[in-house]
């Protein structure tokens, strides 16, 4: 599995329920690091944020396509300051 695959899948799924979301993905194979930029997700508790992502990744985790996921969440302002 490639990072571009995970990125396009997550951005597509998350944009169905969130007004603005950007996902930066690093890694390949079955280990990925996600930077999720969304004001709506940044306002949620850490557990709720992760639940939103895992809900979409669960089929790939279950079949072993994804083994490890590290997530960091940023508001759009925090992301702009970081880069």
pTM over 0.75, yes/no? yes
Query: How far apart are the C-alpha atoms of 75 and 42, rounded to whole Å?
Result: 5
Overall CATH class of domain 3-82: alpha beta
Positive or negative, the CA dihedral 4, 15, 80, 57 is: negative
Question: In the predicted model, is pLDDT for residue 70 greater than 90?
Answer: yes
Tens of pLDDT along 29-64? 888 999 999 999 999 999 999 999 999 889 988 998
């Amino acid at each position: 599995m490639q990072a571009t695959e995970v990125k396009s899948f997550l951005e597509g799924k998350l944009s169905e329920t969130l007004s603005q979301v950007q996902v930066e993905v690093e890694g390949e194979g079955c280990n990925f690091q996600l930077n999720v930029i969304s004001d709506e997700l940044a306002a949620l508790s850490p557990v709720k944020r992760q639940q939103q992502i895992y809900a979409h990744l669960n089929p790939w985790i279950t079949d072993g396509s994804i083994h490890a996921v590290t997530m960091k969440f940023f508001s759009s302002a925090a992301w702009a300051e970081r880069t």
